[in-house]
Structure 1
Amino acid sequence: MAKFKLAFEENFDYNGKPNPEIWTFQVGPKWANNEKQCYVDKLENCYVSDGALHIIATKSDDPNCPYESARIMSKDKKHFQYGRFVVRAKMPKGRGAWPAIWFMGTVKGQGWPACGEIDLMEFAGNRRTQVTSAYHTKTYNHSINTHKEGVLIANNLDTEFHDYILEWTKDHISFQVDYEEILRADKKPNDTFAEWPFDQPYYMIINLAVGGWYGGKIVDEDFPFHFEVASIRHFEIIEEK
């Protein structure tokens, strides 16, 4: 049983753009997974107020960019390795919304999926009663239909805040919602980097995609989509038995 102490927290207790000492905007019109949005660096699509991070997906008049949204990451600014992460968030309403909170590995020369991906939370407005967690490695990933996924069913994901939790040690990763475990992976004695790339620093990504293979059918009448993150807390391991 691991013991933890608070090492980092982002309470979004300020107003304006996300703290540039922690977050970088990723922008552009072309993204993976058949997503339909352009990611932009605009205050109306990503801002901090009233004690929360707000990411808003909106319709656009630009035929080359029909939807605008935001994606921020902590790469090269704040990296993490092991510990417990507690992210308090409320999902957006709207068919076609695809918010995610996830982590990518930082080992140079290792592209996806070999670098490792940890998906703390994904949600689709077309399936508003479920939220999923997953991880991807060279051996286990969705491109070869071997990725590992957990699902939680609930009726209030887009009306109430919940705690999305990752417990990550050198021996296991555990995904939880309000401390209910929905997915766990334990490191096996013979695992190589291809199966277990999780003994390295990772950076965090928070984004709101539109459509794509996970988000599904987009209904324009449902816009704007509004994704809220109230806090992020990282607890370091101080004792592990």
Structure 2
Amino acid sequence: MMKTNKIWIVACMVTAVIGGIYGCDDDKDFSYEGRLDLNLLNLTQARELWDGAECNVFTALRQSEDEMPVKNFTYKLNLSLYQDRTAAQDAQVNLEVNKDTLNKLVAKVNEGGIYAKYDGAELLPESYYHFSSQTLMLQTGKTKSDAVSVTVYSNELIAACQDARRDLLYVLPLTIESLSSYGINPKTSTLMLHFNVTYVEPKEDENGPEYVPDPNDAPEKMENGLVLKFHDEFNEDGEPDWNVWRWEEGFQRNQELQWYQKENAICKDGVLIITGKEERVKNKNYEAGSGDWKKNREYAYYTSSCLITKEYRFRKGRMLVRAKIPTAMGAWPAIWTTGGSSDSWCWEWPLGGEVDLLEYYVVNGKQSVHANVCWGSDKRWSGKWQSYNRPIAEFIEKDKNWGKKYHIWRMDWCLDEEENTLKLYLDDELMNEITDLKKTTVNGGGGLDDWWRGSWRNPYLDSGNDKEGFGQCIWLNLALGSNGGEPDLSKFPLEYHVDYVRVYQFE
């Protein structure tokens, strides 16, 4: 599993002139023979680094022992003519990833010399970098084009290295192609960005069981007589079990930034991983000029996943979820339940109740952990809340590795003798408690004034209407933006790991 927690670059760019510019003439001699056309286009940076044979940029990355925040590697590229001559006409080229050049170099590793540095080199995967644009335009009368930025997600490279438990060498070969005017200088048209990522043996205190999925099966019984009634351990690699879960699609709530899609949820190494990504997705429901925020955004620029139990609902019992949450700005992970029925007479939100075992978002400028209970008011789609939140800084002050560890969120619903309480815990610490459900959580009219649909009922004690299968379904999601704050792109992609979901009830 990839760790994305507070890792940083400890050795940055070295502009040593000892490695790699290879143009389109890879099979020719690399030496410069002095016959250079002054009107040839160059990558400016490649020309400045070129030593007559090679033009590489080296970046050394490794996990740091301290807690400095990670910084992404950003390199800016310009198009120019030789000796920064003024362009007599517009010139436009595309910036391409030249996979073929890298393959040729790797194939020559056994020859040694300038090829030896490519031993074990892998092409940098697309998910690890981003272009601000892939078009370079040198305008008439200019000596240099506007810069194009190449951002490489350094923290993800380090995490991949730590996950692989070995040193890694990634190379991003960038070249200018698709000539619109002038010729291209084959000697300085390609720049090789090398990323030497060094594996660092984890500290002893990061090898404990709290850092990894629980390998044990769910106990069938608990000491207080509770029996396992529902669980998903996410032990099968691949997609989640869609017989158990359903997924949401598109924009959903709270004017959040993400487009929900099933592809961002995957099971791997015993956990469900929900990934929040920075990527552009066309809004299938787009309507120009619409007053509906779900329709007036032509694109979503982030994606994530939201899973909900497909058929399963439960009433009363103990719910346990072991998870490791992303704590970067912009993240809004949640574990929650909502009440309803399996027939058409569903008690709409919030008349069916909502329990937030976990929400994580910003309050008064501070990222905070929340534990909330909600039920219906007299106004439609407006809830009454008993809420609790605590700044994440208080948890980190006690344990600097809190964000790297798995934690257990728990709901005990009517486990007392009178079956009249609801309690929410985080790692066995009581976070929120309703001591008298009978008096506290009675719905108002909900704007419906319809007893059959939940008005004036109690979602935490009422069994619902006859044969309707009323109870709470389970939600797991990673929202982005909105209450979560402005996303910190240096931490992307974000990963939310869920080890298991378990529900115990009395026989």
The normalised TM-score by structure 2 is 0.43
1:204 equivalent in alignment to 2:474: yes
Q: Tell me the distance in 2 between the aligned counterparts of 1:145 and 1:6.
A: 31
Which protein is richer in strand relative to its size?
A: 1
Distance 1:110 1:16, change over 3 A: same
Per-residue deviation, 1:189: 4.4
**Cα RMSD between the aligned structures?**
2.5
Residue 162 of structure 1 corresponds to: 407
Residue 216 (structure 1) aligned to one of 463, 485, 497: 485
User: Would you say the 8 A contact 1:140–1:146 is kept in 2?
Assistant: no
* Pair 1:54 & 2:273 matched: yes
AA matched with 1:187? D
Q: Name the residue aligned to 2:358.
A: 121
Q: Aligned runs of 1:141-160 on 2, under 5 Å?
A: 146-152=384-390, 153-155=394-396, 156-160=401-405
Letter of the 2:460 counterpart: F
Moved over 6 A (4+): none
Residue 184 of structure 1: aligned partner: 433
Change over 3 Å in CA distance of 1:184–1:196 after alignment to 2: farther
Give the deviation of 1:157 after TM superposition. Answer: 4.0
Structure-1 separation of matches of 2:439 and 2:327? 43
Structure 1 segment 25-44 matched on structure 2, within 5 A: 25-28=247-250, 30-42=251-263
More displaced 10-residue stretch of structure 1: 31-40 or 104-113: 104-113
Please give the alpha-carbon distance, in whole angstroms, between the structure 2 residues aligned to 1:189 and 1:100: 27
Greater fraction of residues in helix: 2
Post-superposition offset of 1:34: 1.9
1:137 counterpart SS class:
strand
Structure 2: where are the runs of 5+ without partners? 1-223, 282-297, 445-456, 464-470
2:307 pairs with 1:72: yes
In 2, Cα distance between the equivalents of 1:80 and 1:149?
22
Aligned letter for 1:70?
Answer: S
TM-score (norm 1): 0.86
Task: Quote the offset at 1:222 in angstroms.
Answer: 2.0
Q: Please, which moves more after superposition, 197-206 or 65-74?
A: 197-206
| Cα 1:231–1:84 shift into 2, 3 Å | same
| Aligned residue runs from structure 1 range 88-107, under 5 A | 88-107=322-341
Any idea what SS the aligned residue of 1:158 has? helix
**Which runs of 5 or more structure 1 residues have no equivalent in the other structure?**
none
In structure 2, what is the Cα distance between the partners aligned to 1:3 and 1:150? Answer: 29
* Count of residue correspondences: 231
Contact 1:85–1:234 under 8 Å retained in 2: yes
Distance in 2 separating the partners of 1:188 and 1:207: 27
One-letter amino acid of the counterpart of residue 258, structure 2: Q
- Structure showing greater radius of gyration is 2
Q: Equivalent residue for 1:234? A: 503
SS in 2 for 1:14: coil
Identity level (%) = 26
SS of structure 1 residue aligned to 2:473: strand
Question: Relative CO higher for 1 or 2, CA cutoff 8 Å, sep ≥ 6?
Answer: 1
Question: 58-67 or 169-178: which moved more?
Answer: 58-67
Structure 1 residue 230: Cα displacement: 0.5
Cα–Cα, structure 1 residues 179 and 140, in superposed 2: closer, same or farther, change >3 Å?
Answer: farther
Corresponding letter in the other structure for 1:224: P
CA gap of 1:116–1:220, structure 2 versus 1, over 3 A, is same
Partner of 1:135: 373
Distance 1:189 1:114, change over 3 A: closer
Residue 111 of structure 1: aligned partner: 348
Structure 2 CA distance for aligned equivalents of residues 95 and 181 of structure 1: 26
- Return the alpha-carbon distance in structure 2 between the equivalents of residues 109 and 227 of structure 1: 30
What displacement does 1:87 show?
0.5
C-alpha displacement of 1:110: 2.5
